[in-house]
Chains A and B, each alone.
Chain A
Amino acid sequence: MKTSEIFINSAFKENSVWKQILGICSALAVTNLMLNSLIMGLGVIFSLALSNFTISLIRNYTPRSVRMMVQTLIIAAYVIIVDIFLKAYMPDISKQLGPYVGLIITNCILMGRAEAFASQNKPFESMIDGIGAGFGYTLVLLAISFIRELFGFGSVFGIRVFGSWWTNWSIMVMAPSAFFLLAMMIWIINTRYYKLKG
């Protein structure tokens, strides 16, 4: 499979959120602001790419009985490395991220891609798959957070879009809005896009 095909496949055709229903918890939790979603997405892309690469690199030596422990260890290590690096060299961004970095460890997409792709394919392809899956996840986060931030705060990326006449929709700031927006998104894509594709 070509590199571009791997990317398109993991980012769109087999999108982790709308096709595989993975990473839902964080997709619900962090989508109230677009900046939060973007930062979370970048963290996931970085961790996914590197953990996929490493898991693939040692796949022929990894005993099957402990493979999930190995994958968890590698994912956790990369996430902690990102966390330490940000705290030391980008402290302001680290403060903005808050607990998001730690949340990446619990993201099902990382384990999902490690198990489904990285443990069976070559390192470079696995890294591309990780970048693609992270990109697809980030797109979903940004789409939901765009609607939530716009109607919940009247802004986009913190920049005020609606004037003072706008009354913020409190429901959009709260968790239930993420539930129904995500459900609608999954429904629309799965009933329209995939039906058209046959």
Chain B
Amino acid sequence: MKDSFLYPILFMLILVVIFVGVLAVMYRSSEARILAYNTDVYQKIVLRLLSPAISQATGKSMDEINQAYPEAYALYVQEIKPEGLDRRAFKAVDSDSTLAYCFEIGGKGLWGTMKALISTTTDLQTLVDFAIVNQMETPGLGARIEEDWFLGQFRNRQMVLYPENKDDVTASYEFIAESQTPEHDRQLRRVTGATITSDSVIRMLKNEINHIFAFARDHEL
């Protein structure tokens, strides 16, 4: 019977139905849980990136604000949907005044796309903080862009080099080896063994910051 023409086809078909069925049931039963977790993680990052501005306005410590999630998120963070901006955006608010902005940005890494969040001052000229939300880089090499020493290099950097000339918003960051000590504030340390990924991060920041700044120049956030 195993040598007949139909047996292998039917056998394979039955096996596929069984395993796909098991996977589908397992995925559907876990979907809500996975989604809830991902939402929580995302919102916590947004709150963390906006917490310096919230802390400055309210006098509360950043730890206190972050630990008060989800209440603090509901109280201080609003998702905004400016018409024409093709990415998620948030603002930190306190008593109806805007304290800071947070934008979702994306770009290409070595193996796939990267998704990140950046927070900025209200004039969009200073990058307050930066976090990687999603990346598919090599664990132990490119994936080290999530480490604090690497991300920390971007904190409180002026995003727009020449605010007086609104057309020139290209930041001229320069990468040096991880083991080197920066000689000036435009030098950033690259992750060892992850040249392409490190370059991709800076390219993503440059492109996305340009895009957002150009958008904000012509539209209301």
* A residues adjacent to B (C-beta < 8 A): 29-30, 32-33, 36, 58, 61-66, 69-70, 73-74, 77, 80-81, 84-85, 87-89, 91, 98-100, 167-168, 170, 173-175
Contact = CB atoms under 8 A, between A and B. Distances in A.
Contact of B30 (A29, A58, A87): A87
A99 B12 contact: no
Contact of A32 (B7, B12, B34, B140): B140
Contacts of B143: 98
Interface residues of B, number: 28
Nearest to B7: A63
Given A70-B15, A170-B179, A170-B193, A84 B27 contact: yes
Interface of B: 2-3, 7-8, 11-12, 15-16, 19, 22-23, 26-27, 30, 33-34, 37, 41, 111, 136, 138-141, 143, 179, 192-193
A87 to B, nearest CB: 5
Contacts, number: 81
Nearest to A78: B19
Nearest to A95: B41
Contact of A81 (B22, B141, B192, B193): B22
Interface centre among B23, B139, B143 (most CB of A within 10 A): B139
21 contacts: A30-B139, A32-B141, A32-B193, A61-B11, A62-B11, A70-B12, A73-B19, A74-B15, A74-B19, A77-B23, A84-B30, A85-B26, A87-B37, A89-B30, A98-B136, A170-B179, A170-B192, A170-B193, A173-B140, A174-B192, A174-B193
A33 B22 CA distance: 34
A34 to B, nearest CB: 10
A36 B139 contact: yes
Contacts of B41: 91
B8 A63 contact: yes
A84 B193 contact: no
B193 A66 contact: no
Contact of B19 (A64, A77, A84, A173): A77
A94 B194 CA distance: 22
Contacts of B15: 58, 70, 73-74
